[in-house]
Amino acid sequence: MPSNRLCQLTIRQAHELLKHREISSVELTRAALERIADVENRIHACLTIAEETALRQAKEADSHIRDGNIAPLTGIPALIKDVMCTKGIRTTCASKMLENFVPPYDARVIEKLKVQKAVILGKTNMDEFAMGSSNEHSAFFPTHNPWDLSCVPGGSSGGSAAGVAADEAIYALGSDTGGSIRLPAGFCNVVGLKPTYGRVSRFGLVAFASSLDQIGPLTKDVTDSAWVMNAIAGFDSRDSTSVPYPVPDYTGQLISGIKGMRIGIPKEYFVEGMQSEVREALGVAIRKLEELGAEIDWEVSLPHTKYALAAYYILAPSEASANLARYDGVKYGFSYPNANNVIQAIEKTRQFGFGPEVKRRIMLGTYALSAGYYDAYYVKAQKVRTLIKQEFDRVFERCDALVTPISPTAAFKIGEKVDDPLQMYLTDVCTLPINIAGIPAISIPAGFCNNLPIGMQIIGKPFSEEILLRIAFAYEQATDWHKRKPAITG
Ligand code: GLN
């Protein structure tokens, strides 16, 4: 099989070929590395390419397969967002602060991939410490959208989404605190799943906002999303928020169809200022779900949605300000070399180590948590959070799932919003309420506007990933959006 075809395979297709020994993992990994070498000068999805390690892992996978041992992800090359610790491979969080940090251990999700003998190609670009919606806040360089190189890929897992969309890897892992898996998935025409809070261990995930962070897959189709979830979900005693519920087989219900399912359309998510093509694409997608047998409930209302953005920008920066206090130049990471005393060492380390968006978040969070303001901001935001959660609980008494856009617009131009934090924050209005409520949601391809992808979000109650995958799968079977590939020219 020619190497450009190999890169386009899904996990399931690659697995079949590996199992029947029609291809080897080394061939597949080489094909991915060649593709990376080919397109990276335009996409810039990767911060580190671990060529040697990847080829070594591929050889090991091949010898496992020869011995008759093949797990679903064995020998299949993946890219990992650079916020997850990878033993022996530097993990930068796209920050000068961690530019040369090589973790001594693997994140739990990486251990799980390694148990299956998966291949890790490298680490992907992101907004610094996962703070952003466009990848422009990377301390190193922005990632470009494979569909239009002058556009952002979305953030903060933009490198992971762009890498999968450009066929640099068969799949990728990302993290999602306010939309960082789903938004780039939507902007790049791939499938991105944010699992329920507690479903996937965050051990070894560099913390941004600990009450919101989750890890999840970015894949070329819904089946692959289920396959990766099977590999990474489950309890971990080293993440105190991980939940000891049994992990279902996420592929189990994919073919069950959606006849009779009740899908709500919350009106607050079809916001003013929304791009008309996005509204139209969602309308068409919802009709398709209806044709497939779902009952559409147009009367769903989540009135507290309008407070979600404000609450998020108190809660997430507050947690970030506490989590990022550890970067003092003493234990690991960047350390300012010419300080006269310890206070100056810490100050200068943070002054030169962090970029402007990270500093903005630390200041916002420190302010919200400070004496005299704590009740007015942080406590109030927590109360809003409870209201938002309760509202979702009520809606899920009558709906199996909700459908919304991923973002009010398709991908925007590089440079368009980077100097206007409020406009950048508004990109996430449809995704952040989901993290605030701790519930799962998936982003799937649902149309195009001027050759730029439009994503649809399907939201579910806690631990209903199976239902989301089932709806997404039924829709994917009935449409061709996910099969379109970017031309990557220019
Ligand atoms: N864009 C949001 C933020 O900047 C969400 C980021 C994320 O999900 N990691 O905080």
**pLDDT tens figures, 154-178:** 999 999 999 999 999 999 999 999 9
Q: Checking DSSP bridges between strand 401-405 and strand 262-264, what pairing results, if any?
A: parallel
The percent of residues above 90 in pLDDT, for the chain, comes to 96
Options 24, 81, 123, 175, the catalytic residue: 81
- State the pLDDT confidence band at 490, using cuts at 50, 70 and 90: very low
Does the structure show a pLDDT above 90 at 2? no
Q: With the C-alpha atoms ordered 414, 415, 421, 423, is the resulting torsion angle positive or negative?
A: negative
The percent of residues above 70 in pLDDT, for the chain, comes to 100
| Average pLDDT over the chain, rounded to an integer | 97
Does the structure show a pLDDT above 80 at 489? no
C-alpha to C-alpha distances, 296 to 266, 399, 431, 467, nearest whole angstrom: 11, 9, 21, 16
CA of 250 to the centre of ligand 1 (A): 26
Minimum CA distance residue for ligand 1 atom 4: 132
Could you report the per-residue pLDDT of 343-397, keeping only the tens digit for each?
Answer: 999 999 999 999 999 999 999 999 999 989 999 999 999 999 999 999 999 999 9
CA of 424 to the centre of ligand 1 (A): 10
Say what the pTM is: 0.98
Mean pLDDT of 102-111: 98
For residue 148, the cross-strand partners are 145
Does the structure show a pLDDT above 50 at 409? yes
Sequence-separated (6 or more) residues with CB below 8 Å from residue 474: 257, 258, 289, 292
**Helix, strand, coil fractions of the chain, as percent rounded to 5:** 40, 15, 45
Options 24, 133, 180, 321, the catalytic residue: 180
Report how far residue 423's alpha carbon sits from residue 421's, in angstroms, rounded to the nearest whole number.
6
Q: Tell me if residue 93 falls in helix, strand or coil.
A: coil
Could you report the per-residue pLDDT of 33-66, keeping only the tens digit for each?
Answer: 999 999 999 999 999 999 999 999 999 999 999 9
For the question of residue 225 being annotated catalytic, the response is no
Mean pLDDT of 449-457: 97
Cis peptide before 160 (omega within 30 of 0): no
Domains in the chain: boundaries:
3-263+400-483
CA of 180 to the centre of ligand 1 (A): 5
For the question of residue 81 being annotated catalytic, the response is yes
Mean pLDDT of 77-96: 98
CA of 1 to the centre of ligand 1 (A): 39
Cite the beta strand spans of 53-176 per DSSP E: 77-81, 119-124, 171-176
Could you report the per-residue pLDDT of 197-209, keeping only the tens digit for each?
Answer: 999 999 999 999 9
Q: Which residues line ligand 1 (CB under 6 A)?
A: 130-133, 156, 176-180, 208, 316, 428
- The lowest-confidence range among 49-53, 215-219, 420-424 is 420-424
- In this structure, what is the dihedral angle of CA atoms 203, 205, 209, 215, given to the nearest 10 degrees? -90
Nearest Cα neighbor of 86 from 52, 123, 59, 57 is: 123
Does the structure show a pLDDT above 50 at 190? yes
Mean pLDDT of 135-142: 98
C-alpha to C-alpha distances, 44 to 32, 53, 136, 365, 465, nearest whole angstrom: 15, 20, 12, 31, 31
Options 156, 242, 321, 464, the catalytic residue: 156
Q: Which of 84, 177, 197, 360 to mutate to test the pocket of ligand 1 (most atoms within 8 A of CB)?
A: 177
Ligand 1 atom showing the smallest separation from residue 435 Cα: 8
Given 3.90.1300.10, 3.30.565.10, 3.40.50.300, 3.40.440.10, which CATH number is that of 3-263+400-483?
A: 3.90.1300.10
DSSP 237-249: TTSTT---PPPP-
Does the structure show a pLDDT above 60 at 226? yes
Mean pLDDT of 1-26: 95
Mean pLDDT of 427-453: 97
- State the pLDDT confidence band at 342, using cuts at 50, 70 and 90: very high
CA of 263 to the centre of ligand 1 (A): 27
C-alpha to C-alpha distances, 163 to 46, 83, 196, 320, 370, nearest whole angstrom: 8, 16, 24, 27, 40
Does the structure show a pLDDT above 80 at 482? yes
